[in-house]
Amino acid sequence: MTDDVQAPPESDKRPRHLAGDDVGIVRPREFTHPGPFAFMSGQTIQGFTLRYETYGALNATRDNAVLICHALSGDHHCAGWHSESDAKPGWWNNLIGPGKAVDTRRFFVVCANVLGGCQGSTGPSSADPATSRPYGINFPFVTIRDMVRSQKLLLDHLGVAELHAVLGGSMGGMTSMMFAMEYPHFTRRQIIMASTANESAQAIAFNEVGRQAIMQDPAWNHGDYPRDGGPRVGLAIARMMAHITYLSDAGMDRKFGRRKRDSAGGESYTFDAQFEVESYLRHQGESFINRFDANSYLYITRAIDQFDAASVAGSLEQAFAPVAAESLVVGFTSDWLFPPEQNREIALALLRAGRRASYAELSTDLGHDSFLLESEALYALVRGFLERSEGYVFDFTI
Amino acid sequence: MTDDVQAPPESDKRPRHLAGDDVGIVRPREFTHPGPFAFMSGQTIQGFTLRYETYGALNATRDNAVLICHALSGDHHCAGWHSESDAKPGWWNNLIGPGKAVDTRRFFVVCANVLGGCQGSTGPSSADPATSRPYGINFPFVTIRDMVRSQKLLLDHLGVAELHAVLGGSMGGMTSMMFAMEYPHFTRRQIIMASTANESAQAIAFNEVGRQAIMQDPAWNHGDYPRDGGPRVGLAIARMMAHITYLSDAGMDRKFGRRKRDSAGGESYTFDAQFEVESYLRHQGESFINRFDANSYLYITRAIDQFDAASVAGSLEQAFAPVAAESLVVGFTSDWLFPPEQNREIALALLRAGRRASYAELSTDLGHDSFLLESEALYALVRGFLERSEGYVFDFTI
């Protein structure tokens, strides 16, 4: 099931240390589930498509698959390059590849754009077969569980007998958690990073402001807008604000401080971007609107806000009772969106439920985005957890 | 110079514990400086007006004045009531009044809406005499120092010989700090709360997203909009986001948690406000647009971002060298916008500069807005600092 892999050219822009050990040029694929699919909301669509990538090969016993789950603004392209001219590789290229922490020589790595997304999987920007126009907000409401159930159909299609592991950060950690709860005997290991069993009021509040920025933009038009139009202003504002929550105060001070754009350093009396952090944020907003659909942003943030691992069972401990997977939970000290305590709480609930779980906390100043950082400590944790035999005594503790 | 004070009626909505000890019904006044006023930017206007309130009476030696400095969205109405039907008193009514921490039986309390504001003082929504239309963004850029210089003219007009104290929280702390630096022999005491000598990149970033929400709203129209129109959507978004930064994660969890609006508690598949925190934020945004001018929001946030007490002198210690005032700096543990460390830094720099300064840190879960809280500990600090003789040994330390 693997894609053809080519050696990258010497002259491209990729960081030198990645040149020799990544999965090279990869090609996204599409899986179409032909039958009806019922969402948790009770709504149904007539089939769906997931765009996905795979790296490495499924083994004869079909039990070496590792499912990667992306975060809100991520997608299926988590490793390698789409073309030799790409400026950047997939978003987790530092973690995934031959010889890396998620070793594609050993594991069959799968990553799909989520249902409700906008990078090739069926979502609000897809054409509704009934009207041939984009679903818009007529698309069914999506939950983390819907995302998990659709990805299970993809794994069945790929012939995966059971998951060696499922892993992800932020929303990807929620998806991993839900996979281990929904398919306990299919999921042998899970790694949850920078995530939460349910969001705090503050995290919901930030998502709500983003949704309001989109929905109050007149160009949103109740979700009915052309593919090249829509609430670009509102989406950019939502992204700029969210981006602040992905960083940390200390990390931003290290990266930008109070440096002015004008190297002369004088006070410039203008509402133009004056501080470097301002022009950085404007760039983040502008680049996002060219790659993301505003309705998908509404749907996915709503799914994140609604996610509550404990909700059905009454407590997190009870909710985790069916889980069979061994779990590694990783929190990051500077993450104030899904802070370390919320990650530790997941591991503690797993332990109280009698499951095998470890919690590790890494000191970083990169905030919520720390799960994406280049960190030998993180690589060692992931590699060790994925490669040791099951039942091996956990050598890191809460 | 005091306003007539009437006893409040028994039947109004004010909290019972405030009924007997506040300044009662107060009337705002206006001070107009007739001559030209030059801003730090080099721009000049032909006179300006400050709307202000006073409580208590100036004494014979004209040295019992206490200047209150408001924060970004505050105004001159910091105590008492404008009418018997007011739903709420002035914003610092719990601190200011007869017998309260800022005792109006003893002190002549003055509070003015800042230059550049929109609650009666001259600002971008005022009529430009040259065109008879609102200044809009033709209004000169305002700095904290401009605000301070205009308020000094008001105090001169009121006959104040020297300030017993200047105090404020957040931007009001910056204004206090600048007062003590700009008019060292006029300013005997300062109290700085929940403030900073200069903002971090993160705080600038949040303000910038707010400005972008306003300026990207088509109704902003480069600052040229009718008084009852303008970028209401952008301003509401800016306020909703900023409001999150005034609270704390723990405080929001205590106040809202994940409570749903639908008391049935079931998942409701909608983009309407679903969690209580969402409808609270929407209300905050909507009520703000009816009382605040979007251009003022741009000007005042820019003044806050540009404020850097150390900038002229090279270091904070050198900048504080001319200060003669005794200083009390108060940080709040849950304030993540202007965190305790940034407040402690102000007190430390004052001490290194050889000034008398104390730092107190109060444990709260209300975030940045903690300086507005009802707290006997805060009242005792303020009262003790304002009422003791100068030179009295400071009994609280860093």
**Amino acid at residue number B234:** G
pLDDT on residue B339: 98
B159 part of a folded domain: no
As a whole number, mean pLDDT of residues A370-379 equals 94
pLDDT tens-place string over residues A70-120 = 999 999 999 999 999 999 999 999 999 999 999 999 999 999 999 999 999
pLDDT in the model for residue B12 = 45
Number of domains forming the structure of chain B: 1
* A300: contact with B, CB 8 A cutoff: no
Domain limits for position B287: 201-306
Residue B70 has pLDDT above 70, yes or no: yes
Q: pLDDT digit string (tens) for A119-165?
A: 999 999 999 999 999 999 999 999 999 999 999 999 999 999 999 99
In a domain, residue A211? The reply is: yes
Which residues of A are known catalytic residues? 170, 335, 368
Choose the catalytic residue: B22, B146, B335, B369.
B335
* Token pair belonging to A279: 């022009």
The residue behind tokens 């019904």 is B25
- Interchain pair B205, A253: CB under 8 A: no
CB neighbourhood size of B324 (10 A): 14
In a domain, B144, yes or no: no
B143: chain A residues, CB-CB within 8 Å = 267
* Whether B30 contacts B49, CB under 8 Å: yes
Q: Is residue A247 part of a domain?
A: yes
- Residue B21 pLDDT greater than 80, yes or no: no
Q: What are the C-alpha distances in Å from A322 to residues A66, A67, A325, A347, A391?
A: 21, 20, 9, 15, 18
Instruction: Tell me how far apart the alpha carbons of residues B232 and A298 are, in angstroms, rounded to a whole number.
Output: 21
Q: Is B252 on the interface with A (CB under 8 A)?
A: yes
- Average pLDDT for A355-369: 95
Asked, for residue B46, whether it belongs to a domain, the answer is: no
- Residues within 8 A of B (CB atoms), A 354-383 only: none
Residue A15 lies in a domain: no
Enclosing H/E stretch for A37:
strand A29-38
> In this complex, which of B140, B143, B281 lies closest to A205 when CB atoms are compared?
B281
A67 located within any domain? no
Give contacts of A 164-203 with B, CB under 8 A: 198-202
Contact A18/B at CB under 8 A: no
Q: And the tokens for B365? A: 């879960």
The enclosing domain of A257 has a CATH number of 1.10.1740.110
For residue B34, pLDDT beyond 60: yes
Decide: pTM greater than 0.80: yes
Model confidence at B234: pLDDT above 60? yes
Q: Which residues contact A41 (CB under 8 A, 6 or more apart)?
A: A140, A141, A143, B267, B269
Listed as own residue / partner, the contacts of B212-221 with beta carbons closer than 8 Å and 24 or more positions apart are B212/A236, B212/A237, B212/A240, B212/A281, B212/A282, B212/A285, B213/A213, B213/A237, B213/B237, B213/B238, B213/B241, B214/B238, B214/B294, B214/B297, B214/B298, B215/A271, B215/B298, B216/A233, B216/A236, B216/A237, B217/A233, B217/B294, B218/A218, B220/B294
* Distance (Å, whole) CA B182 – CA B149: 8
Concerning whether B103 is annotated as a catalytic residue, the answer is no
Q: Assess A285–B contact: CB distance below 8 Å, yes or no.
A: yes
Rounded Cα distance between B145 and B307, Å, is 9
Residue A223 lies in a domain: yes
- Per-residue pLDDT reduced to its tens digit, B156-202: 999 999 999 999 999 999 999 999 999 999 999 999 999 999 999 99
Put simply, the answer to whether A271 touches B215 (Cβ < 8 Å) is yes
- What values do phi and psi take at B178, rounded to 5? -70, -35
**CA separation for the pair A38, A52 (Å, rounded):** 21
Q: What is the DSSP pairing of strand B44-55 with strand B29-38?
A: antiparallel
Query: For residue B366, which of B214, B264, B252 has the smallest C-alpha distance?
Result: B252
Q: Which of B217, B266, B257 minimizes the C-alpha distance to B238?
A: B217
pLDDT single digits (tens) A330-354? 999 999 999 999 999 999 999 999 9
